[in-house]
Structure 1
Amino acid sequence: MHLAQLNVAHARAPIDGPELASFVELLEPINNLADSAPGFVWRMKESEEDPTATITHDYGDHLLVTFSLWESLDALWSFVYRSAHLGVLRRRREWFLRIAEPYVVLWWVPEGYIPTLAEGMERLERLKAHGPGPEAFTFQEPYDSSEAASLPAAAEARK
């Protein structure tokens, strides 16, 4: 099983505005760091040619999305909290509004399966509505991949 993660952030301004210029400057190096991190599997990209292009979607203005797959919870944790990514994370209030509800969701998927953005947003909504469980959880309340492997959604994804 691989770990899927979706992270949403409400930007304080349009992505091409001067308020987010320092964030946009960090996109390419941090994305390159993620792509080469131990345990990294896949990351949704808007463009192969433009490393600073953010994912286009219909989920709201100024909502930035990061969506990726990892070999393990430890691999993702190490990238988020034990790499240069942590410095960017610490600056998030410069660029993004504080959110009083979950903005990161994790869940297990079968190896080789690439979830859709819609599935990720559904997992986030599930986490908001029902709290952590094997189908949608957080770093603070993780679930083991064996708990997710027997769920109907995992069986469906393997088809």
Structure 2
Amino acid sequence: MTTKRHLAQVNIGRVLGGPDAPAMQDFYRNLARINQLAERMPGFVWRLQDETGDSAMSLSWPGDPTMNVNMSVWENDEALATFVFKTVHQNFYARKHEFFEMPEDPSVALWWVEIGHIPTVAEAKERLDHLIAHGATAFAFGWVDLPVAKLWRERRCA
């Protein structure tokens, strides 16, 4: 099957402490390892990085310099879902409330991009703002709106 588009994702969060905070040490100690794992995953295309090349932790969200941003592009939803939910990343995702403030509004947005397109942080903000204002649309949507999410629900019910 030939893919005509890739899946971009952005997630934002305000960390609950710096690298020296005892509650945050597990997060920071594993950040480079998780990012390297993503880059080795089948279907990985690109991820946002700061000048260190390890993460994007020094980059901030437009309009809120206290908010961290993470962005990546994947060949398809299965590739992204496999990384997020079927690798060691799932352990940190399940603990996100230990590391980040949990906002009421969505903090994750996904959208389809043309192959070769690398989204900007400004584009990601536009997508997430749209999701917050209008709910899931073709312009921006959340995890539950992915085609793979329907398959997961069907497998659980079978």
Same fold (TM over 0.5): yes
Residues 39 and 72, structure 1, Cα contact 8 Å, conserved in 2: yes
Taking the TM superposition and a 5 Å limit, the aligned residue runs for 1:56-67 are 56-57=59-60, 58-67=62-71
Question: Which residue among 104, 108, 112 is the counterpart of 2:108?
Answer: 104
Secondary structure at the residue paired with 2:122? Answer: helix
Aligned-pair distance for 1:23? 1.1
How many residue pairs align between the two structures? 142
Gaps of 5+ in 1: 145-159
| Structure 2 partner of 1:92 | 96
Taking the TM superposition and a 5 Å limit, the aligned residue runs for 1:40-55 are 40-47=44-51, 49-52=52-55, 54-55=57-58
Residues 34 and 40, structure 1, Cα contact 8 Å, conserved in 2: yes
Q: Does 1:131 align with 2:135?
A: yes
Q: CA RMSD in A?
A: 1.8
Q: Taking every aligned residue pair, what percent have the same amino acid on both sides?
A: 36
Change in 2 beyond 3 A, CA 1:116/1:21: same
Rounded Cα–Cα distance in structure 1 between residues aligned with 2:66 and 2:88: 24
Rounded Cα–Cα distance in structure 2 between residues aligned with 1:123 and 1:52: 21
| Structure 2 partner of 1:149 | none
Gaps of 5+ in 2: 149-158
Residues 24 and 52, structure 1, Cα contact 8 Å, conserved in 2: no
| Segments ≥4 residues shifted beyond 6 Å | none
